[in-house]
Structure 1
Amino acid sequence: MFKGCYLLLILLCLTKGDIYGQDSILVFHTLDSARLLPGDTNKVNWLIDKGKAMGRYFDKHKAENPFFQEAIVTSQHLRYFRGLFSVYNELGISKRNKSEYILASDYHEKAVKYAEEAKNDLMLAIALNNTGVDYRRQEKLEKAFGYHFRALQLAEKINDVRNICVAINSIGNIQLSSGKYDEAIAHFNKALLLERENKNSLGTAINLGNIGYAYQGLGKLDLAIEYYKKSLAVNQVLNNSTGLAICYNSLGGAYKEKKDYASALEYLHKALAVNSKVEDKVHEAESYLSIGKLWSLQGKHEEARKNIQASIDLSLLWRFKLMLKDAYKALAEDYKASGDFEKSLGAMDKSLLYKDSLLDENSAQSLAQTQAIYEVDRKDNQIKLLEHDKQLSELRTKRNVVYIISLAGFLLMLTVGGFFYIRHRNLETKKQTLQLELRSLRAQMNPHFIFNSLSSIHRFIWSNNQEEASDYLTKFSRLMRMILDNTQYTFISLNKELESLRLYLDLEKLRCNGIFDYQINVSEEINEEEAMIPPMIIQPYVENAIWHGLVHKSGKGLLEINVTLKGRVLTCIVTDNGIGRKKAIEIKEKKGQTHRSMGMKVTEGRIDLIRKINNTKEANVNITDLEDDAGTATGTEVKLVLPVEFIF
């Protein structure tokens, strides 16, 4: 039934309007064929192959690929980790090709997870390299280096030359971006040697060009030109038009730095000639712009403006906003050099306009991709819950069969057995009722926490620059994924609770501009992976300490969380050196805020239910106002005592 609804949803999405025509009939005919296949790994592989073959069709119409979505559902049902790796790896590549790098990294991180589950080193090396490329495109170089370094170690272990070359070349590019040119050259030379040994001409051409870029960065222009020409020679043998255009443009740039304007113009005109065979017209726009800048340097303003305008016209046609920003800036500088300041200002205004447009576009795209990640994770969790419910239903059916057989076998003990059965059923019903109440309270708390986090992220995006906003959004999406995962369970391991708590504190510290520090101390005798506690049980008291104690404090605040264990009882003490509850209440009354914290109220309800379910008095919360010898408030201490479960 679920699959039928899923395919119906795809049908409604893809048939919106009449833009698909006859192609959509083929798509749905193929999907109907998929439904007739048995739900095994062969079906998953068939769906993945179809998804790859029809990828351009769905990209063209800006629709999700239903073959990949169906492959995910079937693979999760079968716990087929190889299939999940393949789907998420392909989805990541698709998003990266559309410059949606945040989404690409999220999909490729899922591919890493499932490659690890499948215990397949080759798949893991591929996924690690792809994730590293995604983060390099986001200019998160340290994170990218970590993924490529892991991929390199793994590829060397299994002697996979292709992934070794990709990892080494990528590490070289990271060092190139960081200005570590000598280290970059060393890595490019290693990759070059391997590519030549394996007779990979395209890889050879790429690494030769990269070495040229590194030498140009070091100011060794003659060496840079030598390597650009070597790369050019390989591309000429391959008849690779894109590679030729890049090499000619690179040679033009190097000769321009040498002030050999004649040679620079010669190569840039060669780039223009070959660009007619290149599908991506950004290289042609770049060539026109470089030629215009060269004429401007020589004081030939008419020729300069003619070529710069050609670059602008091409960029307007293909919507190359970054190229338009640079072209209008070059035009402004040329007008300024000729003394026409009014036109120079006009051109500079247009350059700044495109710069602002790019910033707004990137911020909107980052937010859209983060929201898409949230939706993907939500759908994945729904699928997991449906599978979990199905398993529970099967278990209940088996249990009922056992009950019937047991009752038939013990007719002589019907009276006694009936008494104990009714008593047991009543206890189970009472416990289930309490569990449902506990779930309801958790459901109240999570939207409350998510609402506060979204308010924080909204304020941060509008008050900070794009790079910080993107970093904040990435951390927030990771926290959201942890919350969605953790709150499915009644108990989670202590290390997961503390990991999400650290991430929350890092976000609040960023939001509050570092007005407080925090420390989390866990007793050495506690095994954080074995001790189990209710999820999101500590966070409301931490949030209360920050927003009612520390934010109003003058000077640096400190939040301490100490966790100890005695027997099966866990004690968590949250201490802050804030203004204390009395002053916090006075501030709230001045602002007209009289309502009590929803998070605190819900958590107290959860603790009360935990006490009832476990039939213990050990679950409780005590709040103490801290004072110095003079009776002045020095902060607040919250002591949270909970019964703890263990995995083993």
Structure 2
Amino acid sequence: MSRIGVCFLLALLLGISREISAQDSARVYSTLDSVRRLSNDTSKVSLLVAKGKTMSRFFDSRKIENPFFQEAIALGLRLKDSHGLATAYNEIGISKRNKSQYILALDYHEKAIKYAEETKDDQLISFSLNNAGVDCRRMDKLEEGFDYHFRALQVAEKINDIRNICVATNSIGNIQLTTEKYEDALRHFTKALQLEEDSKNDLGVAINLGNIGYAYQGLKKTDLAIEFFKRSLAWNQKAKRIIGIAICYNALGAAYQDKKDYPTAMEYLQKALEVNDQVDDKVHVAESYLSIGKLLELEKKHDEAHRYLQKSIEVSQFWGFKYMLMEAYKALAANYKSSGEFEKSLAAMDKSLVYKDSILDEKSTMALAQMQAIYEVDRKDNQIRLLEHDKQINEMRTKRNAVFIFSLTGFLLMLIVGGFYYIRHRNLRAKKHTLQLELRSLRSQMNPHFIFNSLSSIHRYIWSNNQEEASDYLTKFSKLMRMILDNTQHTFISLNKELESLQLYLDLEKLRCNGIFEYEISLEGDINEEEVLLPPMIIQPYVENAIWHGLVHQSGQGILTIRVAVNGKTMSCTVTDNGIGRKKAMEIKARKGLPHNSMGMKVTEGRIDLIRRMNNTKDAHVTITDLEDPAGEPAGTKVVIVLPVEFIF
């Protein structure tokens, strides 16, 4: 064929591809428009989720959010459709997990658990818990993942939900395999295998046979491991599951390598290479080249090993597999070292470290991006709830106005007689409303100040290059952010919510300060935390002040105690620390040129003053006492916050 003919054919194929893509896009959005025209009810939420699942590949390939899921959530929030919301959040979480966005996936699956529990649908609850467990396992949060899967197993066993029992049992086995509890893992894999065989699930049988092989390999029972790997291979071949076949070949290669049977190990690794060539994801090809190169290096065949390692690098560079490049250059460095080429070995190791740093940077960037996405999602959800709340208020207002118009005629005489009292009452209400607006304004200053300090902490923590602890810190911070966004929508919140957010804040500060202090929160007397109401974020600034102006400068172990007592309609909260005291703290501030009072303290003092004016009471004040030891030296600070409180009942 001539060059012109080839170009014409390529142009024709490109045109056809674009035409098909345009047709797919038109079909997808036409379906979305059709669903939008349906009446807003729970069946529409279910239909949006179902269509979103079928169209997910279309949106994933274009790297855009699935509008079916987004509209299902928006409508579900308006209708308070807990079942639809749990299903939608589960699907979005799975989509995010498939893109390795594990922080986002866990956030969505935790929301799914919340709404699933509202439905009391045990199958949906178990499914949601298993999803959250898988997210935690992908982030190496094994203890948290174990808890999710164990809860899922308990719920699934209660209703004999075989599918979720199998998933939870296999997942618990994998966690135990990772933590080298091979006997426990073996028991769980054997139980899961029996369930999958009874259910005639070929894929589940193949997976659990392979897992049992890994457990025996961990127990150094290599012959038994090989037997189960071969059984798993047979089931994968029966199902024509290419990925499973490649995994079994690699496992057999590693097992024979453990037995020092290098020829047989090489035979299986070569088979894995051939099979991996049929898989779309070429990372498996790069991995096979790397495994063969490492095996040849063990056999002292340095030149052949070098060729396979170079092939792994070439494939990885072409497709951009940074992790494989890191491992391949590390193996290449060992290869050069064995050959006595030390300068090349150092150069290869430098490249491996460059890719390692690049991977860490990407993970940190991705984690921050996911945190921003979580914030945006929560903000939008809150906007939807507020709009729905405003709509209900307007409807009630309309009904009230209609009643008022009819009632006005009958009570006109009474209003004239009582006009003086009405005007007086109205003026008092206007004054109280003005004070409430001032209080809200001060509260809105409090939250940005707190969030700014927390974000500064996260920025510093991530730059410490401690990936696992940074991820844990970010996860806790996202939970605290959600709690703050929820709590600050209300003038009053329950005491248990205030203490829960305070405890989470203290855990974060303790991590940030490398555990230089311990804390204790206690309640005095018989207090029902859920019935006592108080303004949100009222205690935190004094706790923050105790930590950063007292405890961080303490040479020994810092102790922070928070004691809450309720007497009648008054609550007292005592915050005591064994820090350096206010005098030394002011001296340190003066040396550093810092202002005397923090923004958080000023705002909170303003809030307490407004609370005192609104309630026309003296039972709203703060007392600060400098503590001294028997020798008269500063021994910390005690802050007593006294506030009027409300009760639900």
CA distance in structure 2 between the partners assigned to 1:451 and 1:411 by the alignment: 54
Partner deviation per Cα, 1:437-470 (whole Å, 9 max, x = no partner): 1111100110011111111111122135111111
Instruction: Say if 1:463 and 1:241 are closer, same or farther in 2 by CA, change over 3 A.
Output: closer
Instruction: Say if 1:38 and 1:419 are closer, same or farther in 2 by CA, change over 3 A.
Output: farther
Per the TM alignment, residue 136 of structure 1 is displaced from its structure 2 partner at its CA by 0.5
Partner deviation per Cα, 1:551-605 (whole Å, 9 max, x = no partner): 2222222111111111111110111111221222222122222352111111111
Q: Which residue of 1 aligns with 2:528?
A: 527
| 8 Å Cα contact 1:152-1:163 kept in structure 2 | yes
Task: Give the letter aligned to residue 485 of structure 1.
Answer: D
CA distance in structure 1 between the partners assigned to 2:20 and 2:280 by the alignment: 25
User: Is structure 2 residue 32 aligned with structure 1 residue 67?
Assistant: no
Q: Which residue of 2 aligns with 1:591?
A: 592
Deviates most, 186-195 or 561-570: 561-570
Residue pairs, 1:500-519, within 5 angstroms = 500-519=501-520
Q: Which residue of 2 aligns with 1:170?
A: 171
Instruction: Say if 1:226 and 1:524 are closer, same or farther in 2 by CA, change over 3 A.
Output: farther
CA distance in structure 2 between the partners assigned to 1:223 and 1:68 by the alignment: 46
Partner deviation per Cα, 1:302-354 (whole Å, 9 max, x = no partner): 22122222222222222222111111112221221122222222222221221
Per the TM alignment, residue 417 of structure 1 is displaced from its structure 2 partner at its CA by 4.5
CA distance in structure 1 between the partners assigned to 2:440 and 2:411 by the alignment: 37
The DSSP-based 3-state class of the residue aligned with 1:624 is strand
CA distance in structure 2 between the partners assigned to 1:629 and 1:330 by the alignment: 65
Instruction: Say if 1:416 and 1:342 are closer, same or farther in 2 by CA, change over 3 A.
Output: same
| 8 Å Cα contact 2:589-2:596 kept in structure 1 | no
The DSSP-based 3-state class of the residue aligned with 2:520 is strand
Q: Which residue of 2 aligns with 1:625?
A: 626
| 8 Å Cα contact 1:531-1:645 kept in structure 2 | yes
User: Is structure 2 residue 93 aligned with structure 1 residue 78?
Assistant: no
Q: Which residue of 2 aligns with 1:292?
A: 293
Deviates most, 211-220 or 133-142: 211-220
Per the TM alignment, residue 204 of structure 1 is displaced from its structure 2 partner at its CA by 0.3
The DSSP-based 3-state class of the residue aligned with 1:532 is strand
Per the TM alignment, residue 365 of structure 1 is displaced from its structure 2 partner at its CA by 1.3
Q: Which residue of 2 aligns with 1:356?
A: 357
Task: Give the letter aligned to residue 586 of structure 1.
Answer: E
Deviates most, 267-276 or 181-190: 267-276
CA distance in structure 2 between the partners assigned to 1:410 and 1:445 by the alignment: 45
Residue pairs, 1:270-281, within 5 angstroms = 270-281=271-282
User: Is structure 2 residue 566 aligned with structure 1 residue 565?
Assistant: yes
For structure 2, list consecutive stretches of 5 or more residues without a partner in the other structure: 1-18
CA distance in structure 2 between the partners assigned to 1:609 and 1:508 by the alignment: 29
Partner deviation per Cα, 1:360-407 (whole Å, 9 max, x = no partner): 111211121112111111111111111111122222222222222221
CA distance in structure 2 between the partners assigned to 1:627 and 1:265 by the alignment: 74
CA distance in structure 2 between the partners assigned to 1:103 and 1:223 by the alignment: 40
CA distance in structure 2 between the partners assigned to 1:192 and 1:377 by the alignment: 40
The DSSP-based 3-state class of the residue aligned with 1:463 is coil
User: Is structure 2 residue 233 aligned with structure 1 residue 232?
Assistant: yes
The DSSP-based 3-state class of the residue aligned with 1:219 is coil
Instruction: Say if 1:172 and 1:47 are closer, same or farther in 2 by CA, change over 3 A.
Output: same
Partner deviation per Cα, 1:517-560 (whole Å, 9 max, x = no partner): 11111114111111111100000111111111122222222111
Per the TM alignment, residue 26 of structure 1 is displaced from its structure 2 partner at its CA by 4.3
Deviates most, 454-463 or 177-186: 454-463
Q: Which residue of 2 aligns with 1:547?
A: 548
CA distance in structure 1 between the partners assigned to 2:430 and 2:93 by the alignment: 46
Per the TM alignment, residue 432 of structure 1 is displaced from its structure 2 partner at its CA by 1.8
Q: Which residue of 2 aligns with 1:125?
A: 126
| 8 Å Cα contact 1:494-1:533 kept in structure 2 | yes
| 8 Å Cα contact 1:540-1:603 kept in structure 2 | yes
| 8 Å Cα contact 1:377-1:481 kept in structure 2 | yes
Deviates most, 133-142 or 295-304: 295-304
| 8 Å Cα contact 2:620-2:642 kept in structure 1 | yes
| 8 Å Cα contact 2:495-2:534 kept in structure 1 | yes
Q: Which residue of 2 aligns with 1:208?
A: 209
Residue pairs, 1:268-347, within 5 angstroms = 268-347=269-348
Per the TM alignment, residue 630 of structure 1 is displaced from its structure 2 partner at its CA by 4.0
Residue pairs, 1:117-516, within 5 angstroms = 117-516=118-517
Q: Which residue of 2 aligns with 1:38?
A: 39
Per the TM alignment, residue 27 of structure 1 is displaced from its structure 2 partner at its CA by 4.6
Per the TM alignment, residue 612 of structure 1 is displaced from its structure 2 partner at its CA by 2.0
| 8 Å Cα contact 1:169-1:188 kept in structure 2 | yes
| 8 Å Cα contact 1:246-1:283 kept in structure 2 | no
Per the TM alignment, residue 243 of structure 1 is displaced from its structure 2 partner at its CA by 0.8
Partner deviation per Cα, 1:97-141 (whole Å, 9 max, x = no partner): 011111111100000000011111110000000000000010000
| 8 Å Cα contact 2:250-2:272 kept in structure 1 | yes
For structure 1, list consecutive stretches of 5 or more residues without a partner in the other structure: 1-17
Q: Which residue of 1 aligns with 2:117?
A: 116
Per the TM alignment, residue 425 of structure 1 is displaced from its structure 2 partner at its CA by 2.9
Deviates most, 241-250 or 301-310: 301-310
CA distance in structure 2 between the partners assigned to 1:272 and 1:588 by the alignment: 65
Partner deviation per Cα, 1:180-217 (whole Å, 9 max, x = no partner): 11110110000000000111110000000001111111
Instruction: Say if 1:464 and 1:262 are closer, same or farther in 2 by CA, change over 3 A.
Output: closer
Q: Which residue of 1 aligns with 2:14?
A: none
Deviates most, 248-257 or 162-171: 248-257
CA distance in structure 2 between the partners assigned to 1:24 and 1:198 by the alignment: 39
| 8 Å Cα contact 2:48-2:68 kept in structure 1 | yes
Per the TM alignment, residue 357 of structure 1 is displaced from its structure 2 partner at its CA by 1.3
The DSSP-based 3-state class of the residue aligned with 1:519 is strand
CA distance in structure 2 between the partners assigned to 1:641 and 1:628 by the alignment: 26
CA distance in structure 2 between the partners assigned to 1:445 and 1:411 by the alignment: 46
| 8 Å Cα contact 1:619-1:641 kept in structure 2 | yes
Instruction: Say if 1:630 and 1:255 are closer, same or farther in 2 by CA, change over 3 A.
Output: closer
CA distance in structure 1 between the partners assigned to 2:465 and 2:338 by the alignment: 35
CA distance in structure 2 between the partners assigned to 1:339 and 1:473 by the alignment: 45
Aligned residues: 631
CA distance in structure 2 between the partners assigned to 1:269 and 1:414 by the alignment: 95
